[in-house]
A and B are shown apart, each in its own frame.
Chain A
Amino acid sequence: MNDKSDMAHAARPVASTDMSRRDVLALAGATASVSVIPTLLDSTAMAETAVASITVLVSFTVNDQRQQLNIDPRQSLLDVLRETLDLPGTKKGCNQGACGACTVLVDGRRIVSCLTLASMHDDAQIETIEGLEKDGELHPLQEAFVAHEGLQCGFCTSGQIMSGLGCIAEGHSGSPEEIQFWMSGNICRCGAYPGIVAAVADAAKRS
């Protein structure tokens, strides 16, 4: 158990990866913190300042870059990517886990980054849309999205492409029907679905 808390006076170290979501939320809540904080801190006075500034230390890799962050444990991975790490390519469409615009790869798996807390991903390898282009060359799936008109407004596109990478890696791109099924967590309100399916199918063939 590593000490990932920045609270130097914490009576008990807090490892972000050991905390359940409920613990994290309770820690973060000003009113709910009463039952938790005393076990963590030496004094009530300390608790008051700690509530205002409680953070956890997390380190993970984003697009091959190591990041070490003191973050509010309530922060979603999405908000940390967008607001802390200045990676706005990942989009917040609903913040409800229902639209897929915020899809990223975490340790190779596609997840909606709005429904996961950043503090839960210590040591993880995170890939976002910004990391796909290598030395000025687009990833074949990115190229396919342009070639097959797999986008209109472009707002869902980052999530579609990251989800498409996951779909291909999972082996779920064997037929257009299979792609449709496994890409249905990513809504495209413009209705560019025909192009999205064609792009994923094309890139799958080439990979």
Chain B
Amino acid sequence: MNMNIIGKPLTRVDGRTKVAGKARYAADFNQPDQLYAVLVSATVGLGRVREIETAEVEEMPGVVSLITYRNAPKLTYLPHKGVIDPAVGERLHVLQDDTVRFYGQPVAIVVADSLDHAEHAAAALRIRYDAQRPMVDHADQQVARIVPEAGGADRSRGDADAAVAEAAVKVDEYYDMARENHNPMEPHATIAAWSGDRLTLWSKSQFLMNEQAEIAAVFGLPTENVEVICPFIGGAFGTSLRTWPHVTLSALAARHVQRPVKLVLTRKQMFFTTGHRPRSLQRVALGATPDGKLTGVVHEGTGETSRYEQFTEALTAVTDYLYSCPNVRTQYRLAQLDTGTPNHMRGPGEASGIFALESAMDELSYKLGIDPIELRRRNEPQIDEAEGKPFSSRSLMRCYELGAERFGWARRSPEPHSMRDGRLLIGMGAATATYPAFHAPSSARVRLLADGTAEIEAAASDMGPGTYTSMTQVAAEYLGLQLEQVRFRLGTTDYPPTPSHGGSWTMASVGSAIRAACLEAQSQAAQRAIADQNSPVFGVSREGVEWTEGRLRRRGDTLPGLSYRDILASAGNPIEADGFARRDPEIAEKYSMHSFGAVFAEVAIDPDVGTIRVRRVVGAYGIGRVVNPLLAKSQCTGGMIGGMGMALMERTVLDARDGRPVNAHMADYLMPVNLDMPELEALFVDEVDPHVNPLGVKGLGEIALVGTAPAIANAVFHATGKRVRKLPIQIENMLTA
């Protein structure tokens, strides 16, 4: 069956739709008779709504309804804990009381006949508050730091603190990474339309099944009464994993006015209620022998959460398994702030944690006088020492070798502040990247049609990596069809359930389910042919036939055999097969499964004004099988650009007085633009991992970003001799370079 469609660098099957402007995102599904809703966001960071001047606004042109906690219906809010929701705490219940928990919390909705009327009325609404000063500074010593109740916050083997204290060579430093916002190009948007007690949501979501279940719970409806539709996502990076308050509010408004309602968040509101990468404060302490063997590793980190939920991420997890060391202690705490609940952002936890660990490893290499790559080689583990299990595959050192050669690491002079290009200071840095190879249970459906083509359906999403294309490749490969003969559809809860589109597990999870469905469809087609008296394989045993390139024949036969079309033509009905795949629990028990990579960065720094320019980034990754190298490389270089943002630009700044994000604007929240782009190259080592899943894929979305920021920070040190342990690195950090 192997047609080698998996592994081909094909252009996107939905490329034409997208470049023609025909891809429809949530806000593009205008409905007949639709009204426009605009949210009013709280302008204090903590307190209560005291007074709302509703009368004037209600009489403004075009206004149909003004909804506040005073007239909003009480919502059912049945218990719902999606796998993506924090394990501890309860979601924000919107417009149910007068409490303001954080700056920007929705406090009213204006519904009007046009967007302009709704915006104008929302801007005119006057609300008075009883306000208190919120606690929003993570570094403030008064902020309560708690042990996450979900557990798993502390891990330890050996006596790490003693080992570090006694070590011949040590590094013990603190790291501070800024809060970031996802800032996808597409703002969150939902169009809600009720028909009796059935609700349809055209909504930006990375997790359709959860959005369906959550909204059903919020409104007390049977799950099947809610349909969520989202064929295209304009980037998300994690922000659309959870179902945020605006989704509930759009449905609430639509029910209130008995008309379809469209609600799109403003860019400013994208900084309020739709999650953020929490600022992290970390300490990493390393102890080593003079020849560079780690003897002790301590990694303590604190993330942020809200007062009402405990958001956790894998901040210190990589430290448990990345290097060989007998004494390792990791600790994770949460700072509870008066803020909206954070959420996962590309490479959640790992990207932040690895900045601290890989900065410390780099620092240790200089103290030891050992090349940074050699230091990692000397601490390369044979197994996952935290779990006591072998890795299903681990190609870290091969990644370093491939990347180093391509990057020209040998040209790097070991001393910091030693390389120049004219008057510019040149620095080269490297760092390890890693991310777990997850696999979540998923289902999919295959329909073989009379014309010999196939339709594939799954309630999956495509926020940009190319799910449409890669899944079409998987189906074409296993069915033995040409790419053009397969149509893959996603983006509605009417299709078979899939997990969230995040955590780098879509390819592994949905892809494996599609494979299973294809194999089941083939099996059914074979049975049909065998049962058909007019078929050349009539009466042959199931084992006596085989599929080759989409044709069924007797095993070993050289005749052309039967196509799907031949089989279906004689029997009529299409063949429909459901597939389901999940990770074998025995395999999960047996192996530690992660992707690994090595990232190299070169920076040029102007010594007079401190401007930092990334000149080159090379990343080499061991991610198992690569389904589509063209799209995979694009995803990797995109992740590197995200990592550049993390290293040098991105931070959401809060006003300490009221928690207001002061740079809630695309021009003030700095992100890499075209001119910032360096030479970028992504490489993949050949890696066969038979354990992770039937496709042998490990996932790519997260690891593409993880590791870039420390590689750049390490390059900055190499260029200047100045170690910056706070991201983003800014010009002022370079002034003393």
Task: Judge: A and B partners, yes or no.
Answer: yes
Asked whether any CB of chain B lies closer than 8 Å to the CB of A39, the reply is no
With an 8 Å Cβ cutoff, the count of chain B residues facing the other chain is 64
Scan A78-107; emit 1 where CB is below 8 A from any B CB, else 0.
Answer: 010011001011111111111101000000
Specify which of B11, B17, B114, B235 lies most central, judged by the most chain A CB atoms within 10 Å of its CB.
B235
- A201 contact set on B, CB distance < 8 A: none
Within 8 A of A (CB), among B53-79: 60-62
Q: Please, how many angstroms separate the alpha-carbon atoms of A83 and B296 in the complex?
A: 61
Q: Please, how many angstroms separate the alpha-carbon atoms of A92 and B464 in the complex?
A: 18
Asked whether any CB of chain B lies closer than 8 Å to the CB of A138, the reply is yes
Asked whether any CB of chain B lies closer than 8 Å to the CB of A40, the reply is no
Asked whether any CB of chain B lies closer than 8 Å to the CB of A75, the reply is yes
Q: Please, how many angstroms separate the alpha-carbon atoms of A75 and B116 in the complex?
A: 7
**Cβ B114 vs Cβ A83 within 8 A:** yes
Given contacts A92-B27, A149-B631, A195-B634, contact A155 B666 (CB under 8 A): no
Asked whether any CB of chain A lies closer than 8 Å to the CB of B127, the reply is no
Asked whether any CB of chain A lies closer than 8 Å to the CB of B452, the reply is no
Q: Please, how many angstroms separate the alpha-carbon atoms of A191 and B682 in the complex?
A: 13
**Cβ A192 vs Cβ B638 within 8 A:** yes
Asked whether any CB of chain B lies closer than 8 Å to the CB of A187, the reply is yes
Asked whether any CB of chain A lies closer than 8 Å to the CB of B136, the reply is no
Asked whether any CB of chain A lies closer than 8 Å to the CB of B30, the reply is yes
**Cβ B185 vs Cβ A153 within 8 A:** yes
- B235 contact set on A, CB distance < 8 A: 152-153, 155, 189-190
**Cβ B115 vs Cβ A79 within 8 A:** yes
Given contacts A83-B115, A149-B630, A152-B466, contact A138 B184 (CB under 8 A): no
* Nearest B-chain residue to A142, judged by Cβ: B19
Q: Please, how many angstroms separate the alpha-carbon atoms of A145 and B700 in the complex?
A: 22
Q: Please, how many angstroms separate the alpha-carbon atoms of A52 and B121 in the complex?
A: 12
Asked whether any CB of chain A lies closer than 8 Å to the CB of B238, the reply is no
**Cβ A92 vs Cβ B634 within 8 A:** no
**Cβ A129 vs Cβ B20 within 8 A:** yes
Scan B89-129; emit 1 where CB is below 8 A from any A CB, else 0.
Answer: 00000000000000000000000001111001000100000
Q: Please, how many angstroms separate the alpha-carbon atoms of A75 and B114 in the complex?
A: 10
Q: Please, how many angstroms separate the alpha-carbon atoms of A190 and B637 in the complex?
A: 9
Scan B650-674; emit 1 where CB is below 8 A from any A CB, else 0.
Answer: 0000000000000001110001111
With an 8 Å Cβ cutoff, the count of chain A residues facing the other chain is 66
Specify which of B234, B631, B665, B671 lies most central, judged by the most chain A CB atoms within 10 Å of its CB.
B234
Shortest Cβ distance from A112 into chain B, in angstroms?
Answer: 11
The stretch that binds B, out of A1-9, A12-20, A156-164, is A156-164
Asked whether any CB of chain A lies closer than 8 Å to the CB of B465, the reply is yes
Question: Given A90, A93, A142, which contacts B666 in the complex, CB threshold below 8 Å?
Answer: A93
Within 8 A of A (CB), among B9-25: 11-12, 14-25
**Cβ B183 vs Cβ A189 within 8 A:** yes
Q: Please, how many angstroms separate the alpha-carbon atoms of A66 and B14 in the complex?
A: 31
**Cβ A155 vs Cβ B184 within 8 A:** yes
Shortest Cβ distance from B186 into chain A, in angstroms?
Answer: 4
Q: Please, how many angstroms separate the alpha-carbon atoms of A152 and B237 in the complex?
A: 12
Within 8 A of B (CB), among A154-196: 154-158, 161, 179-181, 183-196
**Cβ A184 vs Cβ B673 within 8 A:** yes
- B463 contact set on A, CB distance < 8 A: 153
Asked whether any CB of chain A lies closer than 8 Å to the CB of B639, the reply is yes
Within 8 A of A (CB), among B677-702: 677, 680
- B116 contact set on A, CB distance < 8 A: 28, 72, 74-75, 79
Question: Given A101, A142, A152, which contacts B465 in the complex, CB threshold below 8 Å?
Answer: A152
Q: Please, how many angstroms separate the alpha-carbon atoms of A151 and B28 in the complex?
A: 19
Shortest Cβ distance from B217 into chain A, in angstroms?
Answer: 29
Within 8 A of A (CB), among B693-736: none
**Cβ B671 vs Cβ A187 within 8 A:** yes
Q: Please, how many angstroms separate the alpha-carbon atoms of A74 and B115 in the complex?
A: 11
Q: Please, how many angstroms separate the alpha-carbon atoms of A147 and B673 in the complex?
A: 21
Within 8 A of B (CB), among A122-149: 128-130, 132-133, 138, 142-143, 145-147, 149
Asked whether any CB of chain A lies closer than 8 Å to the CB of B635, the reply is yes
**Cβ A156 vs Cβ B674 within 8 A:** no
Question: Given A28, A52, A146, A187, which contacts B673 in the complex, CB threshold below 8 Å?
Answer: A187
**Cβ B639 vs Cβ A154 within 8 A:** no
**Cβ A130 vs Cβ B675 within 8 A:** no
Asked whether any CB of chain B lies closer than 8 Å to the CB of A30, the reply is yes
**Cβ B61 vs Cβ A52 within 8 A:** yes
- A197 contact set on B, CB distance < 8 A: 674, 677
Within 8 A of A (CB), among B578-627: none
**Cβ B187 vs Cβ A92 within 8 A:** yes
Q: Please, how many angstroms separate the alpha-carbon atoms of A163 and B494 in the complex?
A: 38
**Cβ A153 vs Cβ B21 within 8 A:** no
**Cβ B21 vs Cβ A101 within 8 A:** no
Scan B529-556; emit 1 where CB is below 8 A from any A CB, else 0.
Answer: 0000000000000000000000000000
Closest CB pairs A-B (n = 10)? A89-B21, A155-B234, A191-B641, A191-B638, A129-B21, A152-B464, A153-B464, A154-B18, A146-B15, A98-B666
A–B pairs, 11, beta carbons within 8 Å: A83-B114, A97-B667, A152-B235, A152-B465, A154-B19, A155-B25, A161-B19, A183-B674, A187-B666, A189-B237, A190-B185
Q: Point out residues on B near A: beta carbons under 8 Å.
A: 11-12, 14-25, 27-28, 30, 60-62, 114-117, 120, 124, 183-187, 232-237, 264, 266-267, 463-466, 630-631, 634-635, 637-642, 665-667, 671-675, 677, 680
| Extra contacts besides A155-B234, A193-B641, A194-B634 (10): CB < 8 Å | A29-B120, A88-B21, A88-B24, A88-B28, A91-B25, A94-B267, A187-B666, A187-B671, A191-B639, A191-B642
